[in-house]
Amino acid sequence: MNISVFGLGYVGCVSLGCLARSGHNVIGVDVSETKVNQVNSGLPTIIEKDIDHIIREEYNKCRISATTDYSKAILDTEISIIAVGAPSTATGHLNLQYIFKVAENFGRILRAKNDFHVIAIRSAVLPGTSAKFADIIEEYSGKKRNIDFAVVANPVFLRKGTAVHDYHNPPITVIGSDHPGAAEKVASLYRKLPAEVIITDVKVAELMKYVNNTFHALKVSFANEIGNICSALKIDSHKVMEIFCADKELNISPCYFKPGFAYGGPSLPKDLKGLQAMAHDNYVKTPLIESINTTNEWQVSRAVEMIQQTKKKKLGFLGLSFKAGTHDLHNSPAVMLVEILLGKGYEIAIYDKNVQVSNTGCTHKEYMDIHFPHLSKLMKVQISELMNESELIIVNNSEKEYTDVLANVEIGHPVIDMVRLPEAIRQKKNYKGINW
């Protein structure tokens, strides 16, 4: 294909060379005549392993060129890749003026182009940027998105020092689009690479780079805090993390990575506090680890705010234990939520067959009587009883019984979901999830 790459900085230069190496004819565009002249002399615009050889070889094969002329680059190609920088402002926001200036130029030039044109934004941009980019093109061109042109989000995951390797060996390729044909055209650029191509919503794709890099920063900081604790205890920190990473079932896996309600149970809160105490006793500062419980408490506060916003006073809770399939109330976020709302004067009914006092063993009954004697008075024996008495239903864990009832019964009052119920329920009227 004939492809244009706008912006000959880090991402642009790597894209220019690697796309040409894949057999495409690629023209780079930049306002800097110096960068344009470098490419037109067979030289890269950046210092990066292997890119100098690639640019030289592909230039010699006449598959690479560069220009400052937007018009030629757009009119002579079918796909344009946007790799223009979006620097941070002093407040941490992105300065998108350069990207939107490119959109204006696209609008002016596409006015004279009859062929359908695909624009893939590879720059790290905020959700909504692709839509704004398309709005500007429509304004300046008089053309219609997804009829005359399409804008696709295609975030790049390259690390400096290994960018060429990363391009050819991506973990995944993400494409966000509401135009299937445009998405597939961009996807075709990467189909031969050894990674899954995921086509998704535009805003999802736009957010992915920020989620990835924030998590990478989190991992570095977490490993450093564990390392500092290990150092104080004279333990080999690298051996600890080596074993930690060997667990691909729970540690390095999708487990625990599903947005929803706060964590609870007998283990996570206890062991987190234990590690914090260990660090404190050895005079090791662990601000990241110490903030984990704060975030957990904020998630309970978020649920309180959502419930208050409904203006309903009679609440029905499906599930009290900290997760489905157990009667364990230790550090249950549902219990925390109920306690807060009782203090605010709400009328509360609870149904949880696993926590019914009459059906549990003595140990559990004793724990309930000591810690939550007032909650046993709020328990309902039948789920239908709770449904009839409540104005608002709050689902706290994913027991199949709750799913079956909510799926098969038309609920007249609102439902707040903490666990992400099946889509058929999520589509119902008056439904709301805690963070989806």
User: Which sequence spans correspond to the domains of the chain?
Assistant: 2-204, 296-433
Which of the residue ranges 174-178, 276-280, 331-335 has the most confident prediction, judged by mean pLDDT? Answer: 174-178
Residue 44 has pLDDT above 50, yes or no: yes
pLDDT tens track for 179-212: 999 999 999 999 999 999 999 999 999 999 999 9
Interval 224-247 mean pLDDT: 95
Interval 27-40 mean pLDDT: 96
The pLDDT, as a whole number, for residue 117 is: 98
CA distances from 184 to 168, 172, 278 (A): 19, 15, 53
Interval 230-243 mean pLDDT: 95
- Percentage of residues of the chain with pLDDT beyond 70: 96
Q: Which of 19-28, 144-153, 350-359 has the lowest mean pLDDT?
A: 350-359
Q: Give the integer Cα–Cα distance in Å for 123 and 210.
A: 11
Domain 296-433 architecture:
3-Layer(aba) Sandwich (3.40)
The pLDDT, as a whole number, for residue 365 is: 57
Residue 410 has pLDDT above 90, yes or no: no
Q: Are 206 and 125 in contact (CB under 8 A)?
A: yes
Residue 64 has pLDDT above 90, yes or no: yes
pLDDT tens track for 79-131: 999 999 888 877 778 889 999 999 999 999 999 999 999 999 999 898 999 99
The pLDDT, as a whole number, for residue 355 is: 85
pLDDT tens track for 313-345: 999 999 999 888 888 888 899 999 999 999 999
Residue 360 has pLDDT above 50, yes or no: no
Average pLDDT, the chain: 92
Q: Are 175 and 186 in contact (CB under 8 A)?
A: yes
Candidates 3.40.50.300, 3.40.50.720, 3.30.465.10, 3.40.50.1010; CATH matching 2-204 = 3.40.50.720
Interval 293-309 mean pLDDT: 95
The pLDDT, as a whole number, for residue 408 is: 76
Interval 390-396 mean pLDDT: 95
Same fold, 2-204 and 296-433: yes
The pLDDT, as a whole number, for residue 95 is: 87
SS3 per-residue string spanning the chain: CEEEEECCCHHHHHHHHHHHHCCCEEEEECCCHHHHHHHCCCCCCCCCCCHHHHHHHHHHCCCEEEECCHHHHHHCCCEEEECCCCCECCCCCECCHHHHHHHHHHHHHHCCCCCCEEEEECCCCCCCHHHHHHHHHHHHHCCCECCCEEEEECCCCCCCCCHHHHHHCCCEEEEECCCHHHHHHHHCCCCCCCCEEEEECHHHHHHHHHHHHHHHHHHHHHHHHHHHHHHHHCCCHHHHHHHHHHCCCCCCCCCCCCCCCCCCCCCHHHHHHHHHHHHHHCCCCCHHHHHHHHHHHHHHHHHHHHHHHCCCCEEEEECCCCCCCCCCCCCCHHHHHHHHHHHCCCEEEEECCCCCHHHCCHHHHHHHHHHCHHHHCCECCCHHHHHHHCCEEEECCCCHHHHHHHHHCCCCCCEEECCCCCHHHHCCCCEEECCC
Residue 362 has pLDDT above 50, yes or no: no
Q: Are 2 and 65 in contact (CB under 8 A)?
A: no
**Please, which pLDDT band fits residue 3 given cuts at 50, 70 and 90?**
very high
